[in-house]
Amino acid sequence: MLITKQSLQVGEIDPRVGLTPNELRNLSWDLVKKGVNQADRACEVTRRAYMSGHGMVFMYGGYGQGKSLVLKIAVATALNEGKRAAYANLAGVLDDIRIAYDERENKMTELVRRMEWWASLDVLAIDELDKVGQTEWARERIFQLLDARYQRAVRQEALTVIAANYQSTDELSGYLKSRIEDNRFVANGYVIHLKGTDGRKSMPKNWKY
Ligand SMILES: Nc1ncnc2c1ncn2[C@@H]1O[C@H](COP(=O)(O)OP(=O)(O)OP(=O)(O)O)[C@@H](O)[C@H]1O
Ligand SMILES: [Mg+2]
């Protein structure tokens, strides 16, 4: 089904898309302000990746750098252009998959179906990569999903944008660091370290994003 602003508002849309109707209606690339921090650069790079339709973009840095904002804008843009897309914290993705595992009778089928939903999106924005439990089960699922997204990026089929509160890519697990730092992404500027000021300290009172 094509996702439209209206269908999201009337609740027909899969809640896994992760945006409020207001965000879906209003988020656009030009909302990212220049001169606050480095979010404008992250926005430019992500927009370029979005236009190409594929890749793996990784943003890392401190708090309030506009990472989540850029991720949500990419997903809102994709949904408004009729693509299949979702924004989620990694913990939320895992919860979705885990529920299938815990509750359904046909466990494996449901697990595979849910993994496939996330893996098959045209645009997937994964926020808070760093804030997930490190059980073996979680680690395996994260690897499975991100490797699937990586492979689709290399095949030029889908875009994944990831954000984390890291100070260095060395904080990534080895397998993920290797994939994110693939030269096909790095050469395009897709690995972005954000070192600016915390936007939360300067957003105007009526800023809703
Ligand atoms: N350059 C910017 N232009 C417009 N809004 C910004 C900019 N930078 C930050 N903001 C705003 O500041 C707040 C914090 O930004 P955001 O949540 O995107 O940061 P973050 O990098 O995801 O931080 P955290 O790691 O703490 O989650 C949000 O309200 C966001 O809309
Ligand atoms: Mg954030």
Q: Tell me, yes or no, whether 189 lies in a domain.
A: yes
Residue 138: CB within 6 Å of ligand 1?
no
39 contacts: CB under 8 Å, gap ≥ 6: 32, 33, 65, 66, 67, 69, 70, 194, 196, 199
* pLDDT at residue 110 in the model: 86
Q: Tell me, yes or no, whether 12 lies in a domain.
A: no
Q: Tell me, yes or no, whether 10 lies in a domain.
A: no
Please check whether residue 100 is in contact with residue 86, taking contact to mean a CB–CB distance below 8 angstroms: no
Q: Tell me, yes or no, whether 4 lies in a domain.
A: no
* pLDDT at residue 107 in the model: 72
Residue 199: CB within 6 Å of ligand 1?
yes
State the Cα–Cα distance between residues 81 and 3, nearest whole angstrom: 9
* pLDDT at residue 99 in the model: 81
Q: What is the mean pLDDT of residues 138-156?
A: 97
Please check whether residue 43 is in contact with residue 73, taking contact to mean a CB–CB distance below 8 angstroms: yes
pLDDT at 131 over 90: yes
* pLDDT at residue 1 in the model: 45
Q: Tell me, yes or no, whether 202 lies in a domain.
A: no
Neighbours of 208 (CB within 10 A): 8
Q: Tell me, yes or no, whether 204 lies in a domain.
A: no
Q: What distance in angstroms lies between residue 56's CA and the mean position of ligand 2's atoms?
A: 18
* pLDDT at residue 168 in the model: 97
Q: Tell me, yes or no, whether 9 lies in a domain.
A: no
| Counted domains in the chain | 1
pTM: 0.93
What domain range includes position 104? 18-196
- List, for residues 108-130, the tens digit of each pLDDT value: 788 889 999 999 999 999 999 99
CATH code where residue 127 lies? 3.40.50.300
